[in-house]
Structure 1
Amino acid sequence: MRLLVLLLSLLWALPAAAQDQATLVADRLTLQSSKVMVASGHVEVFYKGQHITASRVVYDAAQDHLVIEGPILITDASGSRITADSAEFTADLTEGLIRTARIVMAEQLQLAAAEMRRDGSVTAMRSVAASSCRVCGDGPPLWEIRARQVVHDAQAQQIWFTGASLRLAGVPVIYLPVLRVPDPTLDRAQGFLFPELSASTALGTGISLPYFIPLGRSRDLTLTPFLTDNGGRTLGWRYRQAYASGTLELAGAFSRDRLLPTDLRGTLRAKAAFDLGGDWHLGFDGTLVSDPAYLQDYGISEEDRLVSTLRLSRVTRDSFTSAELTSLRTLRTTESNATQPSTLTGAEAVRRFTPGALGGTATLYAEISGQRRNATSGADGDGDGIADGRDMGRVSLGAAWARRWVTPGGVTLDAGLQAGADFYSIDQDDLYAGDAARTSARGALRLGYPLIRRDAGGVTLLEPHLQLVTARTRADAAIPNEDSALVEFDEANLYALDRFPGADALETGLRLNLGLSVTRQSDAGPDWGLTLGRVIRLDETRAFSTASGLGGAASDWLVAGQVTLDSRLSLTARALVGEDASLSRFESRFALTGQRAGLSGGYEFVPADATQGRAEDIREVVLDGTARLGDFWTLSASDRYDLSSQTTRASLGLGFRNECLSVDLSVSRRFTSSSIVAPSSDFGLTVELLGLGGASKGRAATTCRR
């Protein structure tokens, strides 16, 4: 029978401060003399967050000394575990000698030492092997660091290696006279992060070596020098700061390279988000570049238009308020920043309420917007159909009301009314300059008859709808269309009162919107849905291009569907089909997921449309796949292929990850070219010793590698 003793007897010779903090559990307790006490059997000691298990503990009160015999397991408050054959400690366990010891820190990094000495929070080790790899049998781990001496300061959370060498599968590859790394319990430590090797036909072969600098608990700075074999030099940097009410991040880079040898190239990006209280939020996201090709040359981004936005907003249950300032810069060679809108301003307020006896939901809105170009000419010098220097301002006011009724037989009736007024001021335009005012009114009635059927396999819902919409507008002057050039016809706007995305153009006339949707939810089989729709115009109003699918007296047929089979397969597709059964638009997406592989992708066809800025048809296939090759290897590949030309971008990646090592190898090729960028191939290699120096944690090893 085990004997539980609160160390009232064992600690009668210990300092008084320790007596209330130590507990001993043992099978047997023997007093060899008035100064020596022996605990044996299964012995456990609890003291100041430390837990020690051993087979025998001898306490000598005269020497204030503990002798512990193994096997020994010591666990401290941080979660580190030490196993050893034998140990000697002072009574307060702050100083001691541990023989044939192995320490595991935060279940990641393990250090085996011939001898370990502890002095307070500092532990010194001799003849050390350190690794986060699982050691199987007598063979060497995948990687390890052998060192003559190692010192661990638990308070500073730092580990110092002296006379160290890095070994891969037992073979020395790097000698390190002195090495300092944070222990695994430290999340943010100053020092170098793992390097990344890369090779590019445009930039050459180089290495990136990030250096992380914590600036207190809420700020940090990362500097990333990147050097290439052909003389390219880049300094990347990122500054982050967390506030009680938000975050701020600044990032950028400065480069010298052979692509533009006489220029200093670079980029700067700033992001911020703050909660101002009272449901108000302030956000900013902006990017600057030195030249149009920099982002693509360095693989930072594929963006060809830079949008920088400062926004103040407030969202509540019944209101929405926002003010926004946007700066636009095009990187396309076919566009000029002088003739593109460079500055956009806008403010919007929306209020929702229930209008008493009318029921339903009423909405009031007010909007102000403006756009400015740098050019000053009122003529269309570049031939894009827009005056080079056109500046516009708009004020819009409006109200809307909507309500639904459901009859006892299940028929639904939706009614909606909208009315608004827009006031424009147009400058620097030879055709449209001056002020313009426009009023508009819309009304709609929509009938629906949902039918539901339950059977042994699931539920089927059939919903036919018929909507009658009328819209009228009156303007005292012509208004140019700036914000509604790109129009799409899909399930989301099948029953919309206006399908133009902006405010400059309005859909008018009398029309019928016809729709039918079928949804199936199965207990065991696939879930699927199908939507059919069409717009029939009852007057001669023509507002849309043919390529949009909405032109003519009757629109193209909208056919959209989706299929989901468990979590393994999902497929969505949308098509616009003409009277002759020809496709005027098609897009599809799919995702196939298995236990060891996954494939996703899609196909898109969009016809040429001069009004939407497309001189040629778009036929593009996108594929992205991953596969697990065994327990640790992962293969990934992606391809974007333009059927009218060729592959635009392809990539291949191979990754290895286990409990102690992560290796990522990537190869990518950009096939497209222009006057600012050339086709290029890029190679990248990243190696990370998991669990070392605050690196990422590896996954648990369940079996030994043979």
Structure 2
Amino acid sequence: MAQDIIDQTRETVQTIDAPEPVDFAADQLSYDADTKTVTATGEVVVVRGGYRLTADEVTYRRDDGVVTATGNVVVIDPGGNEINANEVALTDELKDGAIDGFLLVLQDGGRLAASTGARKDGISSLNRAIYSPCDVVDSNGCPKEPLWQLKADQVSHDPEAGKIRYKDARFEFFGVPVLWLPSLSHADNVEARASGLLIPDLRVDRSTGVSVTQPYFIDLAPNRDLVVSPTLYTEVNPSLGLEYRHLTSKGPFKFGGQVTVSGVQENRVGSPSLTTTEDELRFYLYGNGSFQHDEHWRSTFGIRATSDDTFLRRYDISRDTNLRNFYRLERQDTDSFLNIEGWAFQGLRATDDQGLIPIALPIVDFTYAPQDRLMGGRLTFDASGAAINRTDGMDSYRVSAGAEWQRRGFTALGQRITATALLRGDAYRTDDSDRAEFPIYAGRDGWQGRIIPAAALDIEWPLAGPAFGGTQMITPRVQFSASPTGLNDDIPNEDSRSVDLESTNLFDISRFPGHDRWEGGARVTYGASWSIRRPRILFEADIGQSYRLNDTPSILPKGTGLDENFSDFVGRNTLRIGRRFDLTHRYRLDKESLEIRRNEVDLTVGGRRDYLTVGYLRLNRNIGIEDLADREEARAGGRLQLARYWSIFGSVIIDLTGARDDPLSLSDGFEPVRHRLGITYEDECFEFGVTWKRDYVSDRDFERGSSFLFRVSLKNLGR
């Protein structure tokens, strides 16, 4: 015989005859043997199969398995969605039943309210329902009209599919109906993967006119999806964009692109000889991926290609002037590293000759560093090779192998000494050297070889102590290095062209980047660094110079700061204050006049919400060779939070090198390149932004001018 009354605090009773136990917890429990009804009152909790119900009173009829809850009813499903109601009548599994005064609080904060509703097989069917993720109370706790809401006579919520579906829906903004939709569905949380419309893009652009892009997301599987993005323009033909993403067991990859049919203006905008071709296929393709094949092997790739030089700019896809394609295969273990890669490039500038742009395939680098030490030092073996081909230019091939021994230690007085010895051999083959774009970089046809021995002794003396309420460190440094000269004769230069002396390479054995050029001779390099650390404050400064001990003429171009016995002075200063101020200054000073040859400043102030970045670069080297040409530019960007929901942002790039050959140039001393300015409103359920961009550079069928981007985002409606 069952007990008639069980009166105790938070006692748990289980229904032992149910297929899955139902757990009760309440202040009071009573059992009516005649009606076989369990009544729980006072902070009642019922749990079964991942569902949790709380209420002021719950009755459970064992004959038909109906659970009736009244008073402050809350039901939480396995997905974390929360139903609030005045009264519910559910099956004993807590999944199905009728609900009066329905309020569903979704896991992401959205709310779905209805006068009445029912649940069957976990799906809620609601009558006279309202959905909104917006706040319905103000900062003082007083009720307010949500910024936007969806109303419908019939709504269903499927938590397993993560979808909310409406029939005869009305969209209201500030309580005013603005749109009627016969049917509508959207995800019930921001992380749900459900096919449907994404947020549209609205742009106004000088080159393409007014454009509207409406992306559509297709959920193909939990690990792959497709986005289809058609775009309509007022000034040019429509385009279609696609992006496919796939997460495999080895890693992710994606492919995408945009395609249209339109004409190409072949000459510079404004030219009297401007002509437009007939409509033709124009496109942009891209892709990238990364795969971890096993614990040692991994590969990455990147693909970018376009049908013509100006498609990316005209359709506001990218401002890049060079597209890179590569594949890289790597193997790494405890003492070795192998890298095999290939590169191909597409030049988009009007002056680019695709036949002179190299294809690097393959490039191979191998490093072996055994754990065992030799004479107290670490021995590293290196081997590498590269094949550089052009369809209408010089071809070159290189194979290199060498070893480096390095030992570090401290003296009794605290000096840190590093000894380095290097031996490397290179073999080159050059074909069609007379077709090199720059004769100074050409080698001599046929096979050439060289052996490079080098040695260096580096001495540093860190001195630390208290100063200015913190800790300072002064580290003088001197390096002696030596290697033969005249090792570059008849050798092509493919990877050592962009040479420049700066603080990061001052103490390198060879200041040339890459393999193809070697800075020989005997020299002494000297400098010092100073730093001071205080709570939340760090200041660091480096300065140095080198002196070449031999009188052999330098192969480095005049203006690099390395062409004479004494080099220019190079240095770097860094100031950090907390996490909201970071200033870095890099410079090179002429060794005789102390004129600034390189001046680079980067400043960042602020955090994630409010920040300002400022950059300035001036190269005054008078070299004028390809990557070594002088230039001067300033750039700035920032974001400012005006109010709780409002912020402004912007950026600008200005070319200070000198006015371009353009009648619309603003002055003889500078020319803006592009700028961006925007304002954004963003609250818990709504985002609106307007961005104004302007380009000051024309390029064939891409016209200089302004463009405007409008963005509207409703939480959970699109992405």
| Structure 2 length-normalised TM | 0.89
- Asked whether the equivalents of residues 28 and 41 of structure 1 are also in contact (C-alpha less than 8 Å), the reply is no
- Give the partner amino acid of 2:362: T
Residue number in structure 2 paired with 1:641: 654
Deviation at 1:485, TM superposition (A): 1.3
Residue number in structure 1 paired with 2:662: none
- Asked whether the equivalents of residues 72 and 83 of structure 1 are also in contact (C-alpha less than 8 Å), the reply is yes
Q: How do 1:209-608 and structure 2 match up within 5 A?
A: 209-257=214-262, 262-353=279-370, 356-375=373-392, 389-430=393-434, 432-455=444-467, 457-473=469-485, 478-523=490-535, 526-541=537-552, 542-578=554-590, 579-593=592-606, 597-607=610-620
- Asked whether the equivalents of residues 436 and 476 of structure 1 are also in contact (C-alpha less than 8 Å), the reply is no
Distance 1:481 1:5, change over 3 A: closer
Partners of 2:306 and 2:585 in 1: CA distance: 38
Deviation at 1:437, TM superposition (A): 1.2
Partners of 2:674 and 2:30 in 1: CA distance: 75
Residue number in structure 1 paired with 2:634: 621
Residue number in structure 1 paired with 2:661: none
- Asked whether the equivalents of residues 152 and 158 of structure 1 are also in contact (C-alpha less than 8 Å), the reply is yes
Distance 1:3 1:185, change over 3 A: farther
Q: Secondary structure at the match of 2:73?
A: strand
- Give the partner amino acid of 2:545: R
Residue number in structure 2 paired with 1:687: 712
Distance 1:627 1:192, change over 3 A: same
Partners of 1:473 and 1:305 in 2: CA distance: 36
- Asked whether the equivalents of residues 263 and 280 of structure 2 are also in contact (C-alpha less than 8 Å), the reply is no
Partners of 1:511 and 1:232 in 2: CA distance: 63
More deviation, 355-364/133-142: 355-364
Residue number in structure 1 paired with 2:213: 208
Question: What are the ranges of 5 or more consecutive residues in structure 2 without an aligned counterpart?
Answer: 1-6, 266-277, 435-442, 659-669
Residue number in structure 1 paired with 2:72: 71
Residue 168 (structure 2) pairs with residue 155 (structure 1): no
- Give the partner amino acid of 2:450: R
Distance 1:149 1:428, change over 3 A: same
Deviation at 1:121, TM superposition (A): 1.5
- Asked whether the equivalents of residues 437 and 477 of structure 1 are also in contact (C-alpha less than 8 Å), the reply is no
- Asked whether the equivalents of residues 427 and 450 of structure 2 are also in contact (C-alpha less than 8 Å), the reply is yes
- Asked whether the equivalents of residues 238 and 249 of structure 1 are also in contact (C-alpha less than 8 Å), the reply is yes
Residue number in structure 2 paired with 1:703: none
More deviation, 454-463/513-522: 454-463
Residue deviations 1:477-499 (CA, integer Å, cap 9, x gap): 62232221111212221111001
- Asked whether the equivalents of residues 460 and 477 of structure 2 are also in contact (C-alpha less than 8 Å), the reply is yes
Distance 1:519 1:316, change over 3 A: farther
Residue deviations 1:294-323 (CA, integer Å, cap 9, x gap): 122222222211121111112334322111
Residue 16 (structure 1) aligned to one of 15, 18, 21:
18
Question: What are the ranges of 5 or more consecutive residues in structure 1 without an aligned counterpart?
Answer: 376-388, 696-706
Partners of 2:224 and 2:609 in 1: CA distance: 40
Percent identical: 28
Q: Secondary structure at the match of 1:296?
A: helix
Partners of 2:366 and 2:649 in 1: CA distance: 46
- Give the partner amino acid of 2:685: C
Distance 1:119 1:470, change over 3 A: same
Partners of 1:572 and 1:80 in 2: CA distance: 49
- Asked whether the equivalents of residues 108 and 691 of structure 1 are also in contact (C-alpha less than 8 Å), the reply is no
Deviation at 1:68, TM superposition (A): 2.5
Partners of 1:174 and 1:354 in 2: CA distance: 71
- Give the partner amino acid of 2:574: Q
Distance 1:120 1:5, change over 3 A: farther
Distance 1:478 1:93, change over 3 A: closer
Residue deviations 1:654-679 (CA, integer Å, cap 9, x gap): 12222111223211111112335321
More deviation, 284-293/82-91: 82-91
More deviation, 48-57/361-370: 48-57
Residue number in structure 2 paired with 1:53: 54
Distance 1:683 1:2, change over 3 A: farther
- Give the partner amino acid of 1:417: A
Q: Could you say what the CA RMSD is over the residues aligned between the two structures, in angstroms?
A: 2.3
Residue 670 (structure 1) aligned to one of 695, 704, 710:
695
Residue 169 (structure 1) aligned to one of 171, 174, 183:
174
Partners of 2:372 and 2:61 in 1: CA distance: 87
Partners of 1:63 and 1:411 in 2: CA distance: 87
Partners of 2:690 and 2:388 in 1: CA distance: 46
- Asked whether the equivalents of residues 509 and 537 of structure 1 are also in contact (C-alpha less than 8 Å), the reply is yes
Q: Secondary structure at the match of 2:484?
A: strand
Residue number in structure 1 paired with 2:680: 655
Residue number in structure 2 paired with 1:106: 107
Residue 28 (structure 2) pairs with residue 27 (structure 1): yes
> Which consecutive segments of 4 or more residues in structure 1 shift more than 6 A?
none
Residue number in structure 1 paired with 2:122: 121
Partners of 2:110 and 2:295 in 1: CA distance: 47
Residue deviations 1:410-454 (CA, integer Å, cap 9, x gap): 123222111212111111124721211112211112222221113
Deviation at 1:348, TM superposition (A): 1.4
More deviation, 263-272/429-438: 429-438
Distance 1:6 1:516, change over 3 A: closer
- Give the partner amino acid of 2:538: D
Residue deviations 1:601-647 (CA, integer Å, cap 9, x gap): 21000135556316963111110111111111221110111122311
Deviation at 1:195, TM superposition (A): 1.2
Partners of 2:403 and 2:63 in 1: CA distance: 91
Deviation at 1:455, TM superposition (A): 4.6
Partners of 2:160 and 2:381 in 1: CA distance: 61
- Asked whether the equivalents of residues 485 and 521 of structure 2 are also in contact (C-alpha less than 8 Å), the reply is no
Distance 1:510 1:89, change over 3 A: closer
Distance 1:217 1:319, change over 3 A: same
Count residues in correspondence. 675
- Asked whether the equivalents of residues 162 and 192 of structure 2 are also in contact (C-alpha less than 8 Å), the reply is no
Partners of 1:120 and 1:356 in 2: CA distance: 69
Deviation at 1:52, TM superposition (A): 1.8
Partners of 2:408 and 2:359 in 1: CA distance: 43
Deviation at 1:355, TM superposition (A): 6.4
| Structure 1 length-normalised TM | 0.91
Residue number in structure 1 paired with 2:88: 87
More deviation, 66-75/467-476: 467-476
- Give the partner amino acid of 2:453: A
- Give the partner amino acid of 2:255: L
Partners of 2:607 and 2:228 in 1: CA distance: 40
Residue 184 (structure 2) aligned to one of 155, 179, 182:
179
- Give the partner amino acid of 2:414: G
Deviation at 1:600, TM superposition (A): 0.8
- Asked whether the equivalents of residues 106 and 185 of structure 1 are also in contact (C-alpha less than 8 Å), the reply is no
